[in-house]
Copies of this chain bind each other. A is one copy, B any other.
Amino acid sequence: MDTIKDYVQKNKERFLNELIDLLKIPSVSADSAYSQDVIDTANAVKASLEKAGCDFVEICDTPGYPIVYGEKIIDKNLPTVLVYGHYDVQPPDPLDLWTSPPFEPVIKKTDLHPDGAIFARGACDDKGQMYMHVKALEYMVQTNNLPCNVKFMIEGEEEVGSASLSWFVERNQEKLKNDVILISDTGMISNTQPSITTGLRGLSYVEVEVTGPNRDLHSGLYGGAVANPINVLAKMIASLHDENNHITIPGFYDKVEELSDAERAEMAKAPFSLEAYKKALDLNDIYGEKGYTTNERNSIRPTLDVNGIWGGYTGEGAKTVIASKAYAKISMRLVPNQDWHEITELFTKHFESIAPSGVTVKVKPHHGGQGYVTPIDSIGYQAAAKAYNESFGVQPIPVRSGGSIPIVALFEKELKSKTILMGFGLDSDAIHSPNEHFGVFNYLKGIETIPLFYKYFVELFKVK
């Protein structure tokens, strides 16, 4: 019988080409111009699950984009793994910064990926990492190594808040019943030091609009005499952080879990070079909340960032105008115990309260999600650790990620099971950025590691 290593080697080219075909479809969920492509991607995922060996696959309609559900039930008495992933991708802009078109995947070598990496929007987040599970299933089915039942739930709105997925999960608890949820939508420290994400930050994403005069005005005739919505918006945004970069929204930190010195010391053990970090981003210095290290700032601390701002004349040349309106998209990363609905309310109340007279302010909540922490004593975590250890030959390190997968907290609430975050990407893979890529090594290593998780999970489950 083939070992997984042999199987991956034998099918390497096909595995890469199948993923490349999937990456060619621009499934940008944030932009309705791509809606047909998002649907086409769902259908491609359905076909791939059938081909991989699911007994039953369906496209489930939702109020938004469909969810692809697939399953292979081999024995009702065996445990069930629910695989979650998403087939939608982030918008590709700014396009001019891509060295190759975002939806024309190419394999190029990089310093960190000497075997080459697939460059395309969604290569790592999340088509590539999701497709590893499809190919792992194919292997287990083809070689009779599937030790338990498996279910797939692949959604198309992760990049815009997973609204339809919550709707779907709330209505399909029985269908989605499982013993552990497996997700590959995070990263690891490096290709020589695997890690398992045990914490995720929550998210609150809002859009704000500041309105001054009822029309754009000549800045000469009105400049200095009316509130300029852009200047006002800048002042309001600036006031959201104090001189120590603490967030000034009243009540914002009330429920933030403060880690013990011991826990912080444990975290500090993860290999990290500030010099390399700054060099990779061409930064002369870092920046952030006083009293915390870089790794703490982007994992155990909540943050507030403007993700986009616009107003007035942004074209070529000069226009002496005072805009009627100015806008910003603002997101807050939250830590466990911060409730995103509550934070969104606190933000809205505060932001409206600091608007000076002379302007009106609107806050429109976009979406959000709760933070999450995986217990490292769960059999799911232990099975994942054994799997990485066997395929990489190194014990994985548990790490807290700064990112958010809003749906994970909902899974625990609705499906009563723990989520294991087996990520194979690297921070340098530029997800959400131009030139997103995913290492060929990482892709194949993921396919190789996943069946080991199934094996150890079922073993540990039986002795439980």
Q: Which residues of A are in contact with B by a Cβ distance under 8 Å?
A: 29-32, 90-91, 93-94, 97, 159-161, 187, 201, 203, 205, 207, 212-228, 230-231, 233-235, 237-239, 241, 281-289, 294-295, 297-298, 301-303, 305-324, 326-329, 331, 333, 356-358, 360, 366-367, 401-404, 427, 430-435
Contacts and interface: CB of A to CB of B under 8 A. Distances in A.
B329 A223 contact: no
Q: Which of A203, A207, A331 has the most CB of B within 10 A?
A: A331
A313 B91 contact: yes
A308 B294 contact: no
A254 B413 CA distance: 64
Given A221-B401, A284-B358, A286-B225, A313 B319 contact: no
The residue among A90, A205, A317, A433 with the most chain B CB atoms within 10 A of its own CB is: A317
B403 A220 contact: yes
Contacts of A237: 230-231, 234-235, 238
Nearest to A316: B31
A358 B286 CA distance: 5
Contact of A358 (B283, B358, B433): B283
B161 A318 contact: yes
B213 A281 contact: yes
A231 B69 CA distance: 41
A186 to B, nearest CB: 10
A432 B224 contact: no
B303 A312 contact: no
A318 B160 contact: yes
A33 to B, nearest CB: 8
Contacts of A404: 220, 320
Contacts of A403: 218, 220-221
Contacts of A90: 319, 321
Closest 10 interchain pairs by CB? A224-B303, A30-B317, A220-B403, A308-B312, A238-B238, A227-B287, A285-B357, A287-B358, A214-B282, A234-B237
B205 A318 contact: yes
A323 B308 contact: yes
Contact of A223 (B29, B97, B303): B303
A457 to B, nearest CB: 27
Contacts of A307: 219, 230, 312-313, 318-323
21 contacts: A90-B321, A91-B317, A97-B215, A161-B318, A203-B320, A213-B282, A218-B433, A220-B403, A221-B401, A223-B331, A224-B298, A224-B301, A230-B307, A230-B309, A235-B237, A237-B238, A287-B357, A308-B312, A308-B321, A309-B311, A318-B367
B238 A234 contact: yes
A366 B317 contact: yes
A323 to B, nearest CB: 7
Given A216-B434, A228-B306, A329-B312, A221 B427 contact: yes
Contacts of A91: 313, 315, 317, 319
B213 A315 contact: no
Contact of A288 (B225, B287, B314, B324): B225
Given A31-B317, A218-B433, 19 more contacts: A31-B315, A159-B318, A160-B317, A203-B220, A217-B281, A219-B307, A220-B402, A223-B331, A223-B333, A225-B294, A225-B297, A231-B238, A235-B241, A287-B357, A308-B312, A308-B313, A308-B315, A310-B314, A321-B433
Nearest to A200: B220
A283 B213 contact: yes
Nearest to A33: B316
A212 to B, nearest CB: 7
Contacts of A233: 234, 309
Given A215-B435, A319-B329, A309 B234 contact: yes
A314 B308 contact: yes
A238 B161 CA distance: 32
Contact of A224 (B160, B289, B318): B289
A157 to B, nearest CB: 10
Nearest to A217: B433
A367 B287 CA distance: 34
Contacts of A301: 224
